[in-house]
Amino acid sequence: MMKTISTVPIEGQKPGTSGLRKKTQVFMTPGYLENFIQSIWNGIGSVQGKTLVLGGDGRFFNTEAIQTIVKMAVAARAARLIIGQNGLLSTPAASHLIRLHGADGGIILSASHNPGGSEGDFGVKFNTANGGPAPESVTEAIYAASTTISEYEIAEIPDIDLSLSGKTRHMETEIELVDPVTDYATLMETLFDFDAIRALIAGGFRLRFDAMHAVTGPYAREILVNRLGAPDDCVVNATPLPDFGGGHPDPNPVWAHALMSEMMGDTAPDFGAASDGDGDRNMILGRGIYVTPSDSLAVIAANAHLAPGYAKGLAGVARSMPTSCALDRVAKARGMACFATPTGWKFFGNLLDSGKATLCGEESAGTGSDHIREKDGLWAVLMWLNILARKGVSVNQVMVDHWREFGRDYYSRHDYEEVDSEAANALITDLRAQLGSLPGQVFGPLTVARAEEFSYLDPVDGSLTQKQGLQIHFAEGARLVLRLSGTGTSGATLRVYMERHEARAEDLTRDAQDSLSDVIAAMQALTELKTRLNREGPDVVT
Ligand code: VG1
Ligand code: CO
């Protein structure tokens, strides 16, 4: 019943910012997925007697991968597998199930916001018993195991029927198929004022949620339509498709352009939102206004007490380093601790587990709290609806009031995608070498005050993570950050993050790119990016 297959290490099975991501075709190469899964088992010691949660965002190869992982977990004598029906689980729902069942961990099949399909991307994320992405110590152990692997084990059992519900047993392993949505939706009801949101919607408030043909469709339908009474058509692109309808399931103004243009139009609904492939990101829009993720995080920090689950207030807040300082201003005003971590949700785990932070967020459209250990797209949407219901004003008014109170941190991220890896690495290496001599130098209209490479000393376990992005602070109250993406699958992606604080009341509603023109000019003068990368401009501006 059990087969041991000889194998050899496959180069490059090193998890990045969020799991191992490769072209789908690479993952479909015989032995590729098997090698990595066996490396997970080996990296964590063993999976014998353990309980794992398993599911994915429904992209191409999702169900085939689940069948393989089931057979390998059975061969490894796992005690129990909890699998989302039809192989579906959003990342936040998987995190919740791990915690709800006291599981030892989970495997989530997703490349998140990367396109899917046979020519797109696939990914595998391993989460630990707290429900969060494996910390670096664990991903390093998994990677190390992948470099010495010599065999993997797989059970010769028939495929399981993923459409059923309930329990079956295969050798020593109990397999339970669970509804992917119910437990998650019920958790949301414990956190937010569903009565107030229901009354808001019943009163004529119009909303639109774009699931981008990815995993959140069924979740949004259950929560927004069935439990909150929104009309059926408020959730669009609600059926998860293996190729996400050919789109990028990335909720930003560029990839969610249909929603974006609807929200900027004359007949726009009051509120618009979208989520990504695996449901952990969010985009928030009001009529005629896009809320940057950094601002959304700050607004939530300032208003979370309006939601019943957060009525006691927040213990502390955390953001990734490139996320704007808007959060820090709220934290300072409200006397909350504020942490800055490297990019990637795994760095929030210790802060959430230890109770140092309740709310976390990233500029890349990720927001979440200690209710789970992942960022959570629908959670952010419900938080916003709760805030709007309790305040009784528009999204635009919430933002204007927020900026009046705290000032505005104009913010933008420019992505240069699939650039030549060597050129991108050289640009970072050269800038790193210059950091010490930058203070006092003038670039375009700005003068460097401070320049450093970000490293993070985890205040809970004392681990040190280095080389997490170059930060240049300008004397004029602006900041520039450069780092290379750790989620791409071809070439390199250079991310350039820019922000500038504005306190003058008359300048709070300018166009962000306009307002950042000085920082953009300084960045170009400092990095000579256009010539070095041979690019006229960024591919994606958010
Ligand atoms: C990107 C984002 C980062 C996010 C990560 C995973 O990483 O910048 O903030 O945590 O994606 O998000 P990178 O290394 O490409 O900049 V998701 O929604 O892929 O799980
Ligand atoms: Co995601």
* Any atom of ligand 1 within 6 Å of the Cβ of 121: no
With 90 as the cut, is the pLDDT of residue 504 above it? no
Which ligand approaches the C-alpha of residue 216 most closely? 2
* Any atom of ligand 1 within 6 Å of the Cβ of 540: no
Q: What confidence score (pLDDT) does residue 490 get?
A: 80
Using alpha carbons, select from 8, 10, 21, 102 the residue that is nearest to residue 61.
Answer: 21
Using alpha carbons, select from 395, 391, 410 the residue that is nearest to residue 509.
Answer: 410
Contacts of the segment 461-467: beta carbons below 8 A, 24+ positions apart: 461/350, 463/135, 463/136, 463/137, 465/136, 465/342, 465/347
CATH: 3.40.50.720, 3.40.1360.10, 1.10.3210.10, 3.40.120.10. Which one for 184-406? Answer: 3.40.120.10
Which superfamily does 409-541 belong to?
Answer: Alpha-D-phosphohexomutase, C-terminal domain (3.30.310.50)
Contact present, 387 and 394 (Cβ < 8 Å): no
Domain assignments of the chain as residue spans, ordered by start: 2-179, 184-406, 409-541
The alpha-helical segments, DSSP class H, found in 107-181 are 136-146
Closest ligand 1 atom to 493 CA: 15
- Is 409-541 the same fold as 2-179? no
* Any atom of ligand 1 within 6 Å of the Cβ of 343: yes
First to last CA, the chain: 52
The alpha-helical segments, DSSP class H, found in 147-275 are 182-191, 194-202, 216-220, 257-264
Six-digit token string for 297: 């995080």
pLDDT in tens, 469-482: 999 999 999 999 99
CA 466 to the chain's CA centroid = 21
Beta strands 456-457 and 51-56 are unpaired
Fold exhibited by the domain 2-179: Alpha-D-Glucose-1,6-Bisphosphate; Chain A, domain 3 (3.40.120)
Mean pLDDT of 156-164: 96
Separation of 53 CA from ligand 2 center, angstroms? 18
Ligand 2 being an ion, which residues bring their Cβ within 5 A of it? 112, 276, 278, 280-281
Cα–Cα distance for residue pair 534/542, rounded to 1 Å: 21
* Any atom of ligand 1 within 6 Å of the Cβ of 339: no
Ranges 3-17, 64-78, 131-145, 483-497: which has the least confidence: 483-497
With 90 as the cut, is the pLDDT of residue 507 above it? no
The single residue listed with the structure tokens 């109990």 is: 174
Burial class (CB in 10 A: 0-12, 13-18, 19+), 30: exposed
pLDDT in tens, 201-231: 999 999 999 999 999 999 999 999 999 999 9
Using alpha carbons, select from 273, 36, 236, 34 the residue that is nearest to residue 142.
Answer: 36
Cα–Cα distance for residue pair 124/108, rounded to 1 Å: 6
pLDDT band at residue 386 under the 50/70/90 scheme: very high
* Any atom of ligand 1 within 6 Å of the Cβ of 527: no
Q: What confidence score (pLDDT) does residue 445 get?
A: 93
Using alpha carbons, select from 259, 486, 488, 267 the residue that is nearest to residue 381.
Answer: 259
Secondary structure (3-state) at 330: helix
Cα–Cα distance for residue pair 524/532, rounded to 1 Å: 10
With 90 as the cut, is the pLDDT of residue 506 above it? no
With 90 as the cut, is the pLDDT of residue 341 above it? yes
With 90 as the cut, is the pLDDT of residue 278 above it? yes
pLDDT in tens, 68-106: 999 999 999 999 999 999 999 999 999 999 999 999 999
Beta strands 337-341 and 478-484 are unpaired
Tell the residue nearest (CA) to atom 8 of ligand 1: 364
Tell the residue nearest (CA) to atom 16 of ligand 1: 485
Separation of 231 CA from ligand 1 center, angstroms? 32
Which ligand approaches the C-alpha of residue 212 most closely? 2
Separation of 277 CA from ligand 2 center, angstroms? 6
Q: Which helix (H) or strand (E) holds 55?
A: strand 51-56
Mean pLDDT of 7-14: 97
- Share the mean pLDDT of the chain: 96
Phi, psi for 456 (deg, rounded to 5): -125, 125
With 90 as the cut, is the pLDDT of residue 1 above it? no
Using alpha carbons, select from 474, 143, 481, 499 the residue that is nearest to residue 342.
Answer: 481
* Any atom of ligand 1 within 6 Å of the Cβ of 348: no
Six-digit token string for 227: 């439990």
% residues pLDDT > 90 (the chain)? 96
- Number of residues that make up the chain: 542
Tell the residue nearest (CA) to atom 11 of ligand 1: 487
Q: Which helix (H) or strand (E) holds 517?
A: helix 517-527
Separation of 201 CA from ligand 1 center, angstroms? 32
Mean pLDDT of 52-81: 98
β-partners of residue 528 are none
Q: What is the pTM of this model?
A: 0.95
Mean pLDDT of 394-405: 97
Separation of 139 CA from ligand 2 center, angstroms? 18
